[in-house]
Amino acid sequence: MMKVLLIIDVQNDFCPDGALPVEGGNEIVPVINSFIWKFNRVVATQDWHSADQISFASNHKGKKPFDEIDLNGYRQTLWPDHCVQGSSGADFHPDLNTILVDLIVRKGTSADVDSYSAFLENDRITKTGLDGYLTSIGASEVYLCGLATDFCVYYSAMDARTFGFKTAVIIDACRGIDVPAGNVARVIREMQNAGIRIIESGSL
């Protein structure tokens, strides 16, 4: 059984003192490090945005972070500028064990479309190539952890399931933004309803 760990966006800008901090985001790093060696392959994702990224509130006059806009037929949340390509904020958290990472997937690289999912950009058409990689190595099970539970982890997990992978989210190795309030609880229910297992790292 080829088991693959997906570490989603454990980057400086999503940790305390970052541009878009997830509360307790740094707390998951030692948890991830404690089990990373248990998997056949490890994939880590990075938001990797250009400064003119369409999801940045600063690129929309009169808009502020967490506003929503209609963008080419889908709803897009606007964010503070974060994870700009080549910046220290886009780097992995310095304590994250990246030695065992086999593949890095950079997403949201185009200025005109954001990407929450490790599999598909927000237009829900453009692939990152991750599904092809997982298929090519014979992956049967995908386990997710990282930031943030209610955005990039959620979308990545749902897409993993859609692409046919047996999927689990290691919930104590995730932290959420919870905007709007209750969002984390909502996405956990949706993932469970989609057949995604919600597990604790102690069960690995």
Q: With the CA atoms of 175, 24, 31 and 192 taken in that order, what torsion angle do they form, in degrees rounded to the nearest 10? A: -20
52 counts as catalytic: no
Q: Say if residue 148 is preceded by a cis peptide, omega within 30 of 0.
A: yes
Mean pLDDT of each 10-residue bin along the chain, 204 residues long? 96 96 97 98 97 95 92 87 97 98 96 94 93 97 97 97 97 93 96 98 96
Residue 36: half-sphere exposure toward Cβ, Cα within 13 Å:
20
State pTM to two decimals.
0.95
Q: Are residues 13 and 82 in contact, defined by beta-carbon separation less than 8 angstroms?
A: yes
Q: Are residues 30 and 65 in contact, defined by beta-carbon separation less than 8 angstroms?
A: no
**What's the first-to-final CA gap in the chain, in angstroms?**
14
145 counts as catalytic: no
Q: Which of 13, 47, 81, 107 is catalytic?
A: 107
Q: Which of 19, 16, 38 is nearest to 27 (CA)?
A: 16
Which phi and psi (to 5°) does residue 93 adopt? Answer: -55, 135
Q: Which of 15, 83, 152, 174 is catalytic?
A: 152
**Distance (Å, whole) CA 188 – CA 204:** 19
9 counts as catalytic: yes
Q: Selecting from 3.50.50.60, 1.10.443.10, 1.50.10.20, 3.40.50.850, what CATH number does the domain 2-50+88-203 have?
A: 3.40.50.850
Spatial neighbors of 60 by CB under 8 A, at least 6 apart, are: 67, 69, 78
Q: Are residues 25 and 15 in contact, defined by beta-carbon separation less than 8 angstroms?
A: yes
Report the DSSP pairing between strands 166-175 and 197-199: parallel
Identify any residues that bridge with 163 across adjacent strands, giving them in sequence order: none
Q: Are residues 35 and 144 in contact, defined by beta-carbon separation less than 8 angstroms?
A: no
**Distance (Å, whole) CA 71 – CA 34:** 40
